[in-house]
Amino acid sequence: MKYDIVVVGSGLGGLECAHILSRFGKSVLVLEKGSQPGGCIQSYRRGRMLFDTGFHYVGGLGEGQSLHAAFKSLGLLRLPWVQLDRTFDRVTIGAHTFSFHQGYDVFVEALAADFPQELDGLKSYANLLRTVEEHQLDVLNPSLSETLLPAELFEKSAFQYLEETFHDEMLINVLSGTSLKMELRRESLPLFTFLHGNSSFIESSWRLQGDGSLIAASLANDIQAYGGKVVCHAEVQELVEKDGRLVQAICADGTVYEGDLFISDVHPAVTCSWIKQSQKLRKAYRTRVSGQENTFGMLTVSLVMKPQTLKYFNYNRYVYRHPDVWTFYQKDGPVGGILMACRMPEDGEYVRQVDLLTPMRWSECEPWSDTRVGRRGDAYKEMKERRADECIALAETVVPCFREMISARYVSTPLTYRDYTSTPQGSAYGMRKDFRNPMQTVLSPRTPIPNLYLTGQNLVLHGLHGVTMTSLFTCAEIVGKERIWNMLRDEA
């Protein structure tokens, strides 16, 4: 059978593109090399418990907010979302804790109470956050000739903006303190990436009552209900080009799938490696894609808590050992900062699962990168356990006796992430964006091959919110901007 659309990779972006296009009547096939769809939103089982790979919370789901219409059209609002507390994030730096509130005005008011001399800067910052959320979909609006987002947001340093806007170094670090949701790098992080990574959560913040695989399952079920197909254990090894267009995807077991159009939700460098011979995919494009740096990965400590020991808290904690949150992950030494997130209990008030996350450089994993899973030896295990102990020690600074509440722990590194999601270097946020060279580091969904499109976190935006926006951009290139815009307008 020949399909209208073949989607390679069933991460969030691939599933969302397949959902939209199958809903529009296209015959869609999704190929996934693993045993389950979902990519970064899939879950894994340890004993009787399911743990999330990368998803913990999402922003902007309230009615009229930035993600509401898209999630409604994707059928995702029917999932059991629960809004976090008004104070949705708490940032602890040393001995001081600061609160992030939902709602831009309340957000400003709360931080101005701690930094009254910075009120004007906080108002200006909040207005910029609003601008990003209000205009991020301008490119799809057929009534607009150009986006109303200022171009300098892509071409300016996030760190430079913070230094120019605020005078108190502690406030700069507090505002950056929830940004384990992105890679904080003074020398490269664009202001737009920083703003987008924070804005939707301030609109409103939500957590699933359940694991992230609920999202993948919902999308996959809808795709199949619309007549599409999701095939697991289908590892693509080659994309075949004929007369300047892709015609086939060949899998490791020899199965061949034909399509009129192909979408890759896999890292662009990996995608290019599958195309052995091409009239269209020139060396310059391959070099550009393969030469991009990747963002850092994550060490995740998944914890099982003893029954009746830790009460659920309906917010996230960010804990830092030292005040400079922009550099802690780049330095050698003990873990300098963590995100602490609870799994919402299905009944009762006590937590059974807690995740601790901290950035981890690929260089810490590289010595074992060529070694097969399960054969990496004691040194690798010792490294993981040492880092886990450091994360737990930081958690204990805000939750006394936390270590004594733990009954089991499972530790994963960027190497684990690479092995199970096929993400080069276990990158948490895809290819690194650089304000000094946005045209080089921000990729279009279009490629030199006219019927090959890209989607996912490597293009423009990352995270659930960003990948959803990117999937809309990819689909708009295929079915037209007006059709996608009308879909969102009908759901608003």
pLDDT in tens, the chain (492 residues): 899 999 999 999 999 999 999 999 999 999 999 989 988 888 888 878 888 877 889 999 999 999 999 999 999 999 999 999 999 999 999 889 999 999 999 999 999 999 999 999 999 999 999 999 988 888 888 887 677 778 889 999 999 999 999 999 999 999 999 878 889 999 999 999 999 999 999 999 999 998 889 999 999 999 999 999 999 999 999 999 999 999 999 999 999 999 999 999 999 999 999 999 888 888 889 989 988 999 999 999 999 999 999 999 999 999 998 888 988 766 667 888 999 999 999 778 999 999 999 999 999 999 999 988 878 999 999 999 999 999 999 999 999 999 999 999 999 999 998 988 888 899 999 999 999 998 888 899 999 999 999 999 999 888 999 999 999 999 999 999 999 999 998 876
Count CB neighbours of 265 within 10 A. 31
Please report the pLDDT score of residue 55 as a whole number: 81
CA nearest neighbour of 242 among 279, 269, 273, 199: 279
Distance between CA atoms of 85 and 101, rounded to whole angstroms? 8
What does the DSSP 8-state code read for residue 151? T
Q: Which two tokens stand for residue 451?
A: 């019927």
Tokens of 453: 């499109």
The structural architecture, per CATH, of the domain 2-78+210-293+430-491 is: 3-Layer(bba) Sandwich (3.50)
Please check whether residue 384 is in contact with residue 373, taking contact to mean a CB–CB distance below 8 angstroms. Answer: no
Strands 245-251 and 256-264, sheet pairing: antiparallel
Residue 326 is predicted with a pLDDT of 87
338: phi then psi, degrees, rounded to nearest 5 = -140, 155
Look up the pTM and report it: 0.95
Alpha carbons 234 and 255: distance in angstroms, whole number: 8
248 exposure class (CB count in 10 Å sphere: 0-12, 13-18, 19+): middle
> Distance (Å, rounded) from C-alpha 249 to C-alpha 259?
8
pLDDT score for 456: 95
Phi, psi of 112 (to 5 degrees): -65, -25
With CA atoms as reference, report the closest residue to 197 among 429, 41, 358, 388.
Answer: 429
Q: How many CB atoms lie within 10 A of CB 146?
A: 9
Question: Where do runs of H (alpha helix) occur along 179-240?
Answer: 191-203, 213-225
Alpha-carbon distance of 125 to 104, in angstroms, equals: 10
